[in-house]
């Protein structure tokens, strides 16, 4: 699974046979320039989801429920999920939280909306965690994550994301569950992996998460290409004749030879 926030990332991912696309609230950081996902609104998620679903056919598109669009209560969560599906066109929604959110997951699933759960490091709770830190290293937190995973499965989630969870714990959770686990910073033993589109392509270099692998340095290539464009325009080596369009010189000469006439506007001052 890869994140997709726009038509370009969605089309490229589909062409590469990515089976699942996540319209993630990480767009707050990747696209909008925020330091967390918290400022992202439901309207923004619906907008970006609509773009992705409009230009793709094969991948399963999952949409994130953003901060404070499902935490207030089950009714709010159901309405928010309905909007993402009806207006954004997604086939499933994702929400952050484990055992505590199980009743909410069940309510959404009972309404006919597939839910992907998300446990471990949940970015919307980053302030509570004190930063983007690995979860489940101690016995108590590991035990809770196991309970969270079982609870979301029993509530009807069709899959669960494990983020920043130790490899051994992610393996144990995966073996315990019947539903697929999708890891991000959770090791190789999960059933699938999710990564941020911009991370694996090197589209920015201010921070490289440990859990990702750069398969290309597209950002550097883009900077180089843009620099060449600026230089060519400055030196007037672009555009060339191949990039321009012609007309008969006689037509232009006729236009230039004609006496300019001031158009009559019909106003009293004319």
**In angstroms, how far is CA 100 from the centroid of its own chain?**
25
Distances (CA, A) of 75 to 7, 154, 240: 31, 20, 61
- Side-chain-side CA neighbours of residue 100 (13 Å): 11
Radius of gyration of the chain measured on its C-alpha atoms: 25
Q: How does DSSP classify residue 100?
A: G
DSSP string, 243-265: GS----HHHHHHHHHSPP-PPP-
Q: How many residues does the chain have?
A: 270
Active-site annotation holder among 75, 140, 163, 228: 163
Which tokens go with 250?
Answer: 């006689």
Q: How far apart are CA 94 and CA 64, in angstroms?
A: 5
Tell me whether residue 163 is one of the annotated catalytic residues. Answer: yes
Q: Assign 31 to helix, strand or coil.
A: coil
Active-site amino acid positions: 163
């Amino acid at each position: 699974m890869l994140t997709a926030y726009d038509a370009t990332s969605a089309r490229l991912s589909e062409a590469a046979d990515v089976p699942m696309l996540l319209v993630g609230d990480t767009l707050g950081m990747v696209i909008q320039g925020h330091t967390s996902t918290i400022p992202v609104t439901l309207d923004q998620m619906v907008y970006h989801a609509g773009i992705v679903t409009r230009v793709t056919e094969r991948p399963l598109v999952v949409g994130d429920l953003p901060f404070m669009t499902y935490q207030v209560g089950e009714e709010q969560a159901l309405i928010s999920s309905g909007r993402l599906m009806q207006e954004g066109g997604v086939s499933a929604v994702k929400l952050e939280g484990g055992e505590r959110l199980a009743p909410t997951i069940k309510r959404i699933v009972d309404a006919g909306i597939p839910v992907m759960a998300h446990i471990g490091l949940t970015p919307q709770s980053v302030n509570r965690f004190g930063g983007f830190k690995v979860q489940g290293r101690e016995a108590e937190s590991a035990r809770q994550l196991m309970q969270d995973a079982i609870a979301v499965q029993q509530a009807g989630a069709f899959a669960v994301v494990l983020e920043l969870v130790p490899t051994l714990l992610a393996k144990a959770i995966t073996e315990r569950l019947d539903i697929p686990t999708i890891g991000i910073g959770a090791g190789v033993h999960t059933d699938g992996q999710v990564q941020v589109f911009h991370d694996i392509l090197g589209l920015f270099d201010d921070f490289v998460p440990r859990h990702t692998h750069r398969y290309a340095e597209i950002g550097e290539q883009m900077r180089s290409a843009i620099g060449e464009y600026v230089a060519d325009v400055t030196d007037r080596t672009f555009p060339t004749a191949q990039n321009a369009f012609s007309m008969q010189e006689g037509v232009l000469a006729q236009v230039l030879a004609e006496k300019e006439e001031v158009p009559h506007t019909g106003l009293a001052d004319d």
